Structure 1
Amino acid sequence: MHHLLVLASFCLSSLSGSLAIYQRPTNPATPPPLQHLLDPIHKIVHTQRGATVTLPCVLRAPVPQNYKVRWSKVEPAEYMEVVVLITNGAHHKTYGPLGSRVHLRHSHRYDASLTISNVALDDEGRYRCQLINGLEDESLSLVLQLDGVVFPYQTSHGRYRFNYFEAKQACQQQDSRLATYGQLYKAWTEGLDWCNAGWVIEGTVHYPIINSREPCGGRLLLPGVRSYGAKDKSKDRFDAFCFSSAVKGRVYFIRGHMNFKEATLACQNDGATIAKVGQLYAAWKFSRLDRCDGGWLEDGSVRYPIITPRTGCGGLPDPGVRSFGFPSKLRKKYGVYCFSVK
């Protein structure tokens, strides 16, 4: 028993690669109990979209004979655990959509750490490293957490138009994914204040309130993430809370007085595409894009990102992505935000 440990407190990740430091136990004959190495504060590995990251899992000597190590990912929305990789130390096999982007780090004979390249939004979540050795199976869990930004999203037809599956698709179309409840809660602690309820990936519905007010639950309720609980995924309709992380590319503004079609062509003529909402939020969050100019986006909305609030740029005290909503696509009044992978 206790052949498995994680050196999470020694794990660092970066946009270009990852670094994990292996430290031998000071007294290999009497290693500390497994739970002492699994303090919750060290079980979260941070990264960004597009990065390479390593989830540390190290076998403790002596390695048992005929063992296997199985990596799996817990999918809470589907209530299932999906196998990612299985190894017997000499060979390994990968499975599922992650298969082409994962491999064992294997920096030494006891290293069963999992490396994920080109991290995608859907890679975030809880992973389990399980040592399979007959009756002495044991496992540990790690959470891969992407740094990112949560934003509320609704259609041009108004609020509360998405069932759960439509909300999920709408976020994907805007280069993002449905946020988790944890991501929404973190966004609330960072100042997200939104009165419309929206789906999160767990299938529940919430809305974050900083300033208690009518009609957002009333002035007497304390600030917090208000909850409607689980709803019927097919029948009930709300907005969506989407989550986006860093993008491999650049969002930039082209000035002009264009309608939507002209704006789309302007980006294409510049060798780019018209930016999606998730890409604009990512540029605001990670590239600190700050412009006071309203510009068309791919979904037909007009928005602009503000890092430093100032007179004439929305009049709000906090940074954010301001919105003009969904004006007529024929109006020749706005510039455009383009996205280029160059």
Structure 2
Amino acid sequence: MVNFKGIGEIIKILNMNYSKKNYAIDVSGRGKATPPPLQHLLDPINKIVHSQRCATVTLPCILKAPLPKNYKVRWSKVEPAEYMEVVILITNGAHHKTYGPLGSRVRLRHSHRYDASLTISNVALEDEGRYRCQLINGLEDESLTLVLELDGVVFPYQTNYGRYKFNYFEAKQACQRQDSRLATYGQLYKAWTEGLDWCNAGWVMEGTVHYPIINSREPCGGRLLLPGVRSYGAKNKSKDRFDAFCFSSAVKGRVYFIRGHLNFKEAIQACQKDRATIAKVGQLYAAWKFSKLDHCDGGWLEDGSVRYPIITPRTGCGGLPDPGVRSFGFPSKLRKKYGVYCFSVK
């Protein structure tokens, strides 16, 4: 792991040929970089690779003949928000060595002599992001950047104490406890295009605060404002408090419902008796999104909330026109009224 103290340092590490090849690097990922022509790397047609959590994915990096002598290929993950670049794997064509936690789940595809593609097994939420395949050949280094995007679902999250209780770091922890992570702004924007309408502002991964509006209305900025992802901009990560927008992807397991009139403690025991655990909010959303879980009964979840997933809206199941995960909020844990959603690992 290489740490950097400022934005200037990350520009240096991303632009390895800055003294000879003067081109712009955009570490935010929002703009377009102007890379130098690749001499020994084949420029892939698609630089965005899609996958899901728990899957196996390959990031393409193909070398072009003739290969330079004594070359090395280095794979790394670029983390602009933390001003760091994490080395994952280095190879000289004959041998390779892996580094860090991600290194235990990666290998070279190596389907032929010129194949330096990186295969990641059991993809995790934190694997999403920007990767760099760099050919090191003395002073004539060159590299290409690929983006790994996970298919998933964004959901708003708040505590049982009400809205606007999280600073940025608490929001990150809250999402992680619910088998998810903070959504990126891009993921929140995509969720808005798919119909997410939520009036409370929440943190996203970049440290900014937003809320997505489909139907303009008075409590949400007024009727005169156009629909869109409203922004509060960057906020103080330690002092300012909002809700969180979490992101979850597919899960390697099954979420199912146990019927009953259970209090919270009895709900936990019912799942344990069935050799399962009480489901987390992110697991329920993932089951709704990827397994099309559709159940009209409210059930306890691990955080003490009561929710139910609807694929086909119908009378008696929330009365709303759109599919989604409905919520009863956080009722008293002593209340004997609900069933429970359990999670069983495959």
Q: Structure 1 residues 38, 192: closer, same or farther in 2, change over 3 A?
A: farther
Contact residue 77 and residue 203 of structure 1 kept, 8 A: no
Query: What are the Cα deviations for residues 42-64 of structure 1, in whole angstroms up to 9, with x where unaligned?
Result: 21111110011100000000010
Matched length: 314
Query: What are the Cα deviations for residues 141-174 of structure 1, in whole angstroms up to 9, with x where unaligned?
Result: 1110111000000000000111111100000000
Contact residue 55 and residue 121 of structure 2 kept, 8 A: yes
Query: What are the Cα deviations for residues 104-139 of structure 1, in whole angstroms up to 9, with x where unaligned?
Result: 111111111000000000000010111111222111
Contact residue 38 and residue 142 of structure 2 kept, 8 A: no
Alpha-carbon offset, residue 176 of structure 1: 0.4
Q: Structure 1 residues 326, 253: closer, same or farther in 2, change over 3 A?
A: same
Query: What are the Cα deviations for residues 28-81 of structure 1, in whole angstroms up to 9, with x where unaligned?
Result: x99996499999972111111001110000000001011111111111331221
- Please state if 1:244 is matched with 2:256: no
Gapped runs of 5+ residues in structure 1? 1-28
Q: Structure 1 residues 114, 229: closer, same or farther in 2, change over 3 A?
A: same
Q: Structure 1 residues 32, 214: closer, same or farther in 2, change over 3 A?
A: closer
Query: What are the Cα deviations for residues 244-270 of structure 1, in whole angstroms up to 9, with x where unaligned?
Result: 000011000000000000001000000
Give me the whole-angstrom Cα distance separating, in 2, the residues matched to 1:38 and 1:215: 52
Contact residue 181 and residue 201 of structure 1 kept, 8 A: yes
What's the secondary structure of 1:184's corresponding residue?
A: helix
Query: What are the Cα deviations for residues 274-303 of structure 1, in whole angstroms up to 9, with x where unaligned?
Result: 000000000000000001100000000000
**Identity score, percent:** 92
Contact residue 192 and residue 213 of structure 2 kept, 8 A: yes
Contact residue 76 and residue 202 of structure 1 kept, 8 A: no
Alpha-carbon offset, residue 337 of structure 1: 0.2
Q: TM-score, normalised by structure 1?
A: 0.88
What's the secondary structure of 2:294's corresponding residue?
A: coil
Q: Structure 1 residues 238, 138: closer, same or farther in 2, change over 3 A?
A: same
Q: TM-score, normalised by structure 2?
A: 0.87
What's the secondary structure of 2:58's corresponding residue?
A: strand
Structure 1 vs Structure 2 CA RMSD: 2.8
Give me the whole-angstrom Cα distance separating, in 2, the residues matched to 1:325 and 1:76: 36
Query: What are the Cα deviations for residues 192-248 of structure 1, in whole angstroms up to 9, with x where unaligned?
Result: 001111111111111111111112111111111111111111111110000000001
Structure 1: which 4+ aligned runs deviate by more than 2 Å?
29-41
What's the secondary structure of 2:81's corresponding residue?
A: coil
After superposition, residues 15-30 of structure 1 pair within 5 angstroms as none
Match among 108, 111, 133 for residue 107 of structure 1: 111
After superposition, residues 1-342 of structure 1 pair within 5 angstroms as 34=38, 42-342=46-346
Contact residue 106 and residue 120 of structure 2 kept, 8 A: yes
Give me the whole-angstrom Cα distance separating, in 2, the residues matched to 1:310 and 1:55: 43
Gapped runs of 5+ residues in structure 2? 1-32
